[in-house]
Amino acid sequence: MTDATHDPARRSWVPGADRHTDFPIQNLPFGIFSPNGSDRRGGVAIGDWIFDLREACAAGLFNGVADDAALAAAGPTLNAFVALGTAHRRALRHALSFLLDSKGEGRACTEKLAEKLLHKAESCTLHLPCAIGDYTDFYAGIHHATNVGTLLRPDSPLMPNYKYLPVGYHGRASSVRVSGPAVRRPNGQRKRPEEAEPSFGPSRSLDYELELGFWIGPGNALGQPIPIARATDHLVGLCLLNDWSARDVQGWEYQPLGPFLAKSFHTTISPWIVTAEALEPFRTSAMARAAGDPAPLPHLADPADQDEGGFDIALDVLIQSAAMRAANRAPHRLATSNARHLYWTASQMIAHHASAGCNLTAGDLLGSGTISGPTHEECGSLLELTRGGREPVTLPGGETRRFLEDGDEITLTARCTRDGAVPIGFGPCRGLISAAPP
């Protein structure tokens, strides 16, 4: 369901916005920022600028439902805003598109206030968009699950539950950070197969995972499931998510209760919430189930979700080592993938999560699971790309990697393109590995 805010002919008066690869006027993602060391408030990315929602509210630029939404988004977190739901978000999107449109009456009241309303993004600090109450990581990338399962159980890579429910585990919310700060290599217990006893020390198999994050808006009451057909009402938008993973720590600790310290030391997300509305032109069908796969059980089956519950989002993983940076070598692409390779849709993950009565809360974050494609060039982690560390990858300049070294910077990017739509992106999700604590 696209509307005037998606119109490819619409241009913005904000300098450079129309040429911006990620944030043209058709995107309008929400985030929390502080301009020049000032305090936190909500903003909207437009080109290389951030539109200040607090200043816009103070200037009286909105009215009605859009004003209610903008006021909720003007504070130091977006929790109150995302809790309002689709109608408020859509109204604010329309108002913003009107104010930033190069043609029409919005421009007249907005452009003369540009000095107050617009901040150069490079002079701002970006923060987590929401105070994240809970973070859940799924495992919905079927090629990733198959690749990893093959390393462990060549004969039956997928567990019997995989095609019946979206497998997930409860992640750690407190250590989610936005793109930018150093990611410290964790210390942990690790044990090689030939070693009799584990030892404690820096992870020797630090890895990234290419994932999408799904932001939850309105929640559900405890004990009250979310029907699959209503699940989209609870999805605010998407971000990129890097689920850093210490494979050696994970291999030793995960049985029988699943990942713990191997994942909880740090998770990096891109700072902007790219809304469900902005992504409407890039919706696609859910992944087709192979002949012989079970149909989803009724509480996870919805015809509309099967038709348009997926996303067509191209994803890349880039690496730049310390040596590459010193030699001025550009980041090297390790893999390219697409959100179409998720076996379960966001709505199915939401409906499943709430199906036993667990209450989701505004500002909760769901990870999709690593998104790998069917070919080796589409592996969303080093574990898969190097086949468990056995086949190192070679970087420009001749270095090799089994897993990440200190000084390596990993960048995830996302890009949506479709005929008849203006392409949009997510902004980068970056993390640079620093040495483990002594």
Q: What is the DSSP string of 347-388?
A: HHHHHHHHTTSPPP-TT-EEE------SSGGG-SSHHHHTTT
Q: CB under 5 A: which stretch of 58-66, 167-175, 243-251, 279-287 binds Mn ion?
A: 243-251
Interface characters, 362-391, with Mn ion (x: CB under 5 A)? ------------------------------
Q: Which is nearer to Mn ion, 12 or 381 (CB)?
A: 381
Q: Which of 6, 119, 144, 352 is catalytic?
A: 144
Q: Which is nearer to Mn ion, 137 or 305 (CB)?
A: 137
Q: How far, in whole angstroms, is CA 351 from its chain's centroid?
A: 19
The Cα–Cα gap between 314 and 124 comes to: 27
- Minimal distance, residue 139 CB to Mn ion, in Å: 7
- Binding Mn ion by CB under 5 A: which of 209, 277, 378, 384? 209
Interface characters, 57-96, with Mn ion (x: CB under 5 A)? ----------------------------------------
- Minimal distance, residue 369 CB to Mn ion, in Å: 5
Q: CB under 5 A: which stretch of 66-74, 128-136, 206-214, 415-423 binds Mn ion?
A: 206-214
The Cα–Cα gap between 250 and 259 comes to: 6
Q: Which is nearer to Mn ion, 33 or 403 (CB)?
A: 403
Q: Check binding of 243 to Mn ion (CB under 5 A).
A: yes
Q: CB under 5 A: which stretch of 47-55, 135-143, 167-175, 299-307 binds Mn ion?
A: 135-143
109-112 — which CB contacts under 8 Å span 24+ positions? 109/61, 110/13, 110/61, 111/13
The Cα–Cα gap between 354 and 4 comes to: 34
Instruction: Determine the residue with CB nearest Mn ion.
Output: 243
CB-based contact 271:245 (threshold 8 Å): no
DSSP class of 403:
S
Q: Check binding of 207 to Mn ion (CB under 5 A).
A: no
CB-based contact 32:43 (threshold 8 Å): yes
Q: CB under 5 A: which stretch of 36-44, 117-125, 202-210, 285-293 binds Mn ion?
A: 202-210
Q: Where are the alpha helices (DSSP H) in 192-246?
A: none
3-state secondary structure of 120: strand
- Minimal distance, residue 150 CB to Mn ion, in Å: 17
Active-site residue, 144 included = yes
Q: Which two tokens stand for residue 36?
A: 């020049």
Cite the active site residues. 144
Binding site for Mn ion (CB under 5 A): 137, 209, 243
